[in-house]
Structure 1
Amino acid sequence: MNAPINTGLAGAVPVLTLNNGVTIPQLGFGVFQIPPEETRLAVGEALAAGYLHIDTAAAYRNEAGVGAAIAESGIPRDEIFLTTKLRNGEQGSPRAAFEASRKALGVDTIDLYLIHWPVPSQGLYVQAWRELEILYAEGHIRAIGVSNFLPEHLDELLANSTVVPAVNQIEVHPSFTQDALAQKSRSHDIAVQAYSPLGQGRDLSSPVVSELAAKYGATAAQIVLAWHLGLGNIVIPKSVTPQRIRENLAATSFNLSSEEIAAISALETGERIGADPAVAAFTQM
C-alpha cells in the first residue's frame, strides 16, 4: 500500500457560502472531548497545519483554550472562522450565555453561534432563537444556526422566526447518513455540518473504505472526509495527534467519484452514536 497522501501539506480547503452570504471553510477542526488543558496545544497544531475553521461549544468547557490558541497563532482574527454553541440549560438566557462564551474565547465577534440541541421538553428553543436573531442583528454574530434539529424542530422554528438558520450541525457518518434530515435542511438553504464525521472510528475499517484508501494511497479517515466533502457537508474532524491533524486536512487533495461516494453511503445502518434529539434533555451545565 502506498503511503498516505499529502500528510504534511493539504490542498486548498473548499469554501462554502452560507444563506446570508458569509463564507465558511468546508473542512474545520472540532474540539469535542478534548480536555481543556490539551485544547490550546491541539488547536495551535491545527492552525499551524492550515485549518482556518475551529468548532467548539460552551458545553465542551474548552473555549478558553481555543481562544488562547487563536490569540497565539499570529493569524488575523478575521481569517479564522470560529463556531461555538449555546448550552441546553442556558436556552432561557442566551444573551448572558453568549457573552460568557465571547469572554472565554477572548473575541468580539463569533462567526457562527448555534443552539446546541433543541431539547423539545423545555419548549425554549424558539424563544432562544429569537434572542439569537437580536444578537445577529446587533452584529455580534456573523451567522446563527442550530445543531441536532430534526425536521419537526426545523418546521416549528421556521414557522415562528424571521432568520433561517445558516447551518444545522448533525451527526453524520457513513453508517448514519441522515439523508432525509440533510435533504430537509438543504431544501431550506440550511447548510449541513457533520459531527462525529468518522463514526468515532467505527466506519474506518469497512472494506469499501479500505479499498478506496488503497486505491488513492490515502488513510481511511481521508477517504471518509473526502466522502463528506463530495456530499457537500461541512465537516469538523477532531484529533490531538499532530500527524492525524495534518492528514485529515489533506483530505481536500483529491475527489471521490459519484460511484465511490454512493458505495460509501451504502454503509448506512440507521444506527446513531449520540443521543436522539427527539428526547435528549440533558442540561450540559
Structure 2
Amino acid sequence: MSHPAKRTLSMLYGTAWKKERTANLVKQALQAGYLAIDTAAQPKHYREHLVGDGVREFLSTSSLKREDLYLQTKFTSINGQDPNNLPYDPSSSITEQVKASVASSLHNLRNNENVEESYIDCLVLHSPLPTIQQTMEAWDTMSSFVPTKVHSLGISNTSLPILRYIWDNSTVKPKVVQNRFYAATGWDIALRQFCKDSDIEYQSFWTLTGNPEFLSAPLITRTAEEVGISDEVLLYGFVQGLGITPINGTTSHIETDVAELLKLEKWKAEGHNGKTWEKVVRVFGLFLKKWAHNGDHRG
C-alpha cells in the first residue's frame, strides 16, 4: 500500500456528506497533497461518481498518474443503504449485490472511458452483515476481484472477534480496518494491537469529533503551541504517531491542514529530535490506555 500520499501525509481525504460539492473538494484535496481518497458505493452518504469526476479532472492537468493515487471505496450492505437509491438490486443475493456494487465503483472511479482499465486500490466491507455467514459470503465475493480489479480488501465498523474470524477463515486477508476512534470502544487498543501484529493498516474516523476532550488536554495544547499549529492538527499528528492513518473530511481547512502537518514534520526533523516526539506520543498512548482502563474519558 505504498504511494506518495501515505509517505507524505499518512492521511486519507474523506468524502462522506459532501453532496454536490464532492468533485470540487476532491480536486482541491488532491491539489493540496491528499493523494489518498476514501469513498463508498453508498449514495445515502457519498457521491462516488463525483469523486471519480474530481479525480479525473485533477489528473487531466497533473503530472501524476492514476497509479500515484490511492482510491478506496466500500461495499455497503442493504442495512446501510437508502432503499430508494441503491447501486444494486436489493432482491438479488449478497454475491450478486457485491458484484454489482463493485462494477458501479469501477465505472465511477475509472481513469478514462475504458472501464476495462479501471481498478480499486482497496475495497472495504462497510460493516459486518447480520450473520457471520453473510459476512463471509460478501468477503469471499470481494476476494474474487483481487488482485486484478481490486488490489486489497478491508473492513470497517468491526469488532476484534469478527476481524479475527475473517482473518482465520479467508484466503485474501484484510489489509485495512477503518473504525471510529473514540472512548466508547476504548480507542480499539486491543484491536489495533492485532492490526499491528498482522500488518493491517488501522484507519480512524471521528478522530476529532469523537474526541473533543483531547483538544483541551494540556499535552495537546502545550505541544501544539510549541510547534505553532492548531490543536486539531496536533491531535492528528499524535494519532499518526500511534501508527494510525486518520481520515480527514474537512471542507474548510484542506490546504491549512496539509501545511500544518508538513510543519509538524519539519519541527520533528529540525532540532526537535525524534526522541522528543516519540516521548510525547508515548505519553499520549499511555493516557489512552489509562482512560480506557479506568473509564475516565476526560481530557
Cα distance between partner residues in 2 of 1:156 and 1:41: 40
1:32 aligns with 2:16: yes
1:15 alignment partner in structure 2 = 7
- Give the conservation status (yes or no) of the 8 Å contact 2:154–2:174: yes
Aligned residues: 248
1:194 CA drift (Å): 1.2
1:274 alignment partner in structure 2 = none
Cα distance between partner residues in 2 of 1:153 and 1:102: 27
In structure 1, which of residues 40, 45, 67 is the aligned counterpart of residue 52 of structure 2?
A: 67
Q: Which moved more, 1:232-241 or 1:203-212?
A: 203-212
Q: Which moved more, 1:63-72 or 1:196-205?
A: 196-205
Query: Equivalences for 1:1-285 in 2 at 5 Å?
Result: 14-15=6-7, 26-34=10-18, 36-59=19-42, 60-74=45-59, 75=62, 76-89=65-78, 91-92=94-95, 93-107=97-111, 108-121=118-131, 123-137=133-147, 139-172=148-181, 176-200=186-210, 202=212, 203-241=214-252, 244-250=253-259, 251-252=261-262, 253-254=264-265, 255=268, 257-265=277-285, 266=287, 269-270=291-292
Post-superposition Cα deviations, 1:45-93, rounded to whole Å, max 9, x if no partner, equal 1011111101111223311111111111134211111000010227442
RCO comparison, higher one (Cα < 8 Å, 6+): 1
- Give the conservation status (yes or no) of the 8 Å contact 2:157–2:179: yes
User: What is the letter of the counterpart of residue 260 of structure 1?
Assistant: V
Higher helix share: 2
- Give the conservation status (yes or no) of the 8 Å contact 2:182–2:211: no
5+ long unaligned stretches in structure 1: 1-11, 17-24, 272-285
Alignment CA distance shift 1:103-1:97 (3 Å): same
Alignment CA distance shift 1:122-1:130 (3 Å): closer
1:33 CA drift (Å): 2.2
5+ long unaligned stretches in structure 2: 79-87, 89-93, 112-117, 269-275
- Give the conservation status (yes or no) of the 8 Å contact 1:174–1:199: no
1:120 CA drift (Å): 3.7
Cα distance between partner residues in 1 of 2:211 and 2:194: 27
- Give the conservation status (yes or no) of the 8 Å contact 1:114–1:144: yes
Q: Give the alignment's TM-score, normalised by structure 1.
A: 0.78
Identical aligned residues as a percent: 25
Alignment CA distance shift 1:205-1:64 (3 Å): farther
Runs ≥4 residues deviating over 6 A: none
Alignment CA distance shift 1:111-1:13 (3 Å): closer
SS at match of 1:170: strand
- Give the conservation status (yes or no) of the 8 Å contact 1:147–1:169: yes
The RMSD of aligned alpha carbons is 2.4
Post-superposition Cα deviations, 1:233-273, rounded to whole Å, max 9, x if no partner, equal 122211111xx1122223244247233213433156558xx
Post-superposition Cα deviations, 1:153-172, rounded to whole Å, max 9, x if no partner, equal 12221232111111111112
- Give the conservation status (yes or no) of the 8 Å contact 1:64–1:106: no
2:83 alignment partner in structure 1 = none
